[in-house]
Amino acid sequence: MKITREIYQVAGEGLSAAEDAAAYLIVFGTHAAMVDAGCGWSVDRIYGNILECGVSGEQLEYLLLTHCHFDHTGGADAIRRRTGCKIVAHALDAPFLERGDGEVTAAGWYGASLKPFPVDVVLEGEEEEILLGERSIRAIHTPGHSPGSVVYLVESDGKKVLFGQDIHGPLHASLLSDRGKYLRSLESILSLEPDILCEGHYGVFQGKKRSADFIRQFLND
């Protein structure tokens, strides 16, 4: 599914396994990055979707993980082996991936186990810049849903596109969720004023108002 001339949805409802969260592809010229990777149960199909976007496996430089949960990360290592990309995650979530923690990653919710895998690029602090070719991707720490949740912000077709996976939550003690941090993160995300919001389970929201209305409803719950 094409979102802008440079951004596509390549996994999620109707595109890959039903359990997969949405995954998105960013293509800046000959350089590409993927946001999240699904559960790992339909990697062949996701890889085929990437190819259909005109991107070869070798062009995929980064796999940008928004947080450690299984429906976003279970396929990460398989995508890396297929393409040679670097896996990116925040320092507060990376340990759960690297030791295959079945509880904090929610793998057990899916009747699955997460095979441990290393994180290649560990994000530190509140914000970092990732260069994709000559273009910039902002990685912004937004804890609450998980300790190391991250949103990624890019500009494409003159619009601010925010990859804000699981803005809706849920919050659960076993996931080490923190409601206070979650609410503060929602306020921070609202202040970014995205023109397009790419969410993990609720689809793509076009326009500042629709994006803000979706985010704001969880502040008011």
Instruction: Report pLDDT for 215.
Output: 96
Q: Report which secondary-structure segment, H or E, holds 183.
A: helix 179-191
Three-state DSSP at 137 gives: strand
Total domains in the fold of the chain: 1
In which domain, by residue range, is 49 found? 2-219
How many other β-carbons are positioned within 10 Å of the β-carbon of residue 160?
17
Cβ contacts of residue 179 below 8 Å, gap of 6+? 144, 171
Q: Assess whether pLDDT exceeds 90 at residue 165.
A: no
Greatest alpha-carbon pair distance for the chain in Å reads 44
CATH number, position 118: 3.60.15.10
pLDDT per residue over 30-49, tens digit each? 999 999 999 999 999 999 99
The amino acid occupying position 89 is: A
**Total length of the chain:** 221
* Summary mean pLDDT of the chain: 97
Alpha carbon distance 154, 147 (integer Å): 23
Percent of the chain clearing pLDDT 70 (strictly above): 100
pLDDT per residue over 102-158, tens digit each? 999 999 999 999 999 999 999 998 999 999 999 999 999 999 999 999 999 999 999
Question: Whole-model pTM?
Answer: 0.97
Angle between helices 179-191 and 208-219 (to 10 degrees): 160
Compute φ and ψ for 26, nearest 5 degrees.
Answer: -110, 125
Give which of 176, 172, 205 is closest to 189, Cα–Cα.
205
